[in-house]
Amino acid sequence: MRIILRKTLNDYSEKNPEVKSHLDAWYWEVKHVKWDSPTDVKKSHSKSRNVGKDIVIFNILGNRFRLIIRVNYIASIVYIRFIGTHKEYDKIDIEEV
């Protein structure tokens, strides 16, 4: 998959170094997979949650952080939309990511 806005992950990792290795691992794993549907995401990340047809939420570092992506399955592109703690997540509108 092609991942857009890796800078978002890097910037967040600089402020929260404890999550860096987990975000790096997620990035490299996703970069080398091909997802054709939400079912494919669920197969590779059983604890991910599909919200609608193109939004996926991942729990990172033992559920301390949330990573939200949008997936264009046809073009094989992942857009990083949000990374933050559950408290930060509670402040966003999932429909606007």
What are the tens digits of pLDDT across the range 9-47? Answer: 999 999 999 999 999 999 999 999 999 999 999 999 988
How far is Cα 87 from Cα 64, in angstroms, rounded to an integer? 10
What are the tens digits of pLDDT across the range 42-90? Answer: 999 988 999 888 999 999 998 899 999 999 999 999 999 999 986 777 6
Strand ranges for the chain from DSSP E: 2-4, 49-51, 55-60, 65-72, 77-85
Indicate the burial class of 56 (C-beta count within 10 angstroms; 0-12, 13-18, 19 or more).
buried
pLDDT of residue 88: 72
**Global pTM value:** 0.88
Confidence of residue 96 (pLDDT cuts 50, 70, 90): low
Is the Cα dihedral 54, 78, 18, 83 positive or negative?
A: negative
How far is Cα 73 from Cα 42, in angstroms, rounded to an integer? 14
Domains of the chain and CATH, by start: 2-96 (3.30.2310.20)
